[in-house]
Amino acid sequence: MLRELATATRLLAVLTLLTGVVYPLAVTGVARTCFPHLAEGSLLDGAGQPTIPGESVRGSALVGQPFSAENYFWGRLSATAPVPFNAASSGGSNLGPLNPALPAAAQARIRSLAQGGAAFQGVPVDLVTASASGLDPHISPAAAEFQAARVARARGIPEAAVSDLVRRHTLGRQFGLLGEPRVNVLLLNLDLDSVR
């Protein structure tokens, strides 16, 4: 009995060392060597260029940012609380379709969009609901196009120029078949800042 316990304890120690220390350090080392930008969280500077922590970081291409000014595109709602887009508390709201808080939150967002001059009808669903993680950095092309008039008006630039930016930032399905077309809100807004 003691012999088996000693063997099990040694095996636990070896496996803990291998899977808890050696493997994570090896994977982190390979990632930082081969893919430094991705390994550090896909951080971007104010020009939308890859950067590293400690430099001028504007945001991450992988995590949504809270944009609420009229002259920027707004992303999906974040279900993380109390701080929006907080990766440490990632998760959906878990509100079911019959929960009165879900339509109330959607109506509040529709009212916010309407104050920006949008119509109540035809609001894309991803503008009034949170994603499952609460961190989604993307919106649908329809959601971006829905906001184009408001952003153009707030910036005093032609709506056609804003719509062209939306088209340029629209990514297709991954590998041509996975997911839906999408627009990264941070990249779109950073590019929008460069338009004069």
Do residues 88 and 78 lie in contact, with contact meaning Cβ atoms separated by under 8 Å?
Answer: no
Give me the amino acid identity at 16. T
132 neighbors 92 (Cβ within 8 angstroms):
yes
Residue with tokens 């008006």: 153
Pairing mode of beta strands 138-139, 182-184: antiparallel
Mean pLDDT of 52-70: 80
Number of Cβ within 10 Å of residue 136's Cβ equals: 21
pLDDT in tens, 126-155: 888 877 777 888 999 999 999 999 999 999
Q: What is the DSSP letter of 64?
A: -
Per-residue pLDDT for 196 more than 90? no
CB neighbour class for 55 (10 Å; exposed up to 12, middle 13-18, buried from 19) = exposed
pLDDT tens-digit map of 62-85: 888 888 888 999 888 877 767 777
Alpha carbon separation from 177 to 3, 5, 183 (Å, rounded): 55, 52, 16
pTM: 0.75
Residues 26-40: tens digit of each pLDDT: 999 999 899 887 777
pLDDT at residue 30 in the model = 94
Going by their DSSP bridges, the two strands 182-184 and 59-60 should be labelled as unpaired
Preceding omega of 82 cis (within 30 degrees of 0): yes
Looking at residue 116, what is its pLDDT?
Answer: 57
What's the pLDDT band for 86 if we cut at 50, 70, 90? confident
- Write down the mean pLDDT value for the chain: 84
Query: Which tens digits make up the pLDDT trace of 101-114?
Result: 888 878 887 887 77
Q: Tell whether the model's pLDDT for residue 54 goes beyond 80.
A: no
Find residue 170's DSSP bridge partners.
Answer: 183
Are 150 and 116 a contacting pair, CB within 8 Å?
yes
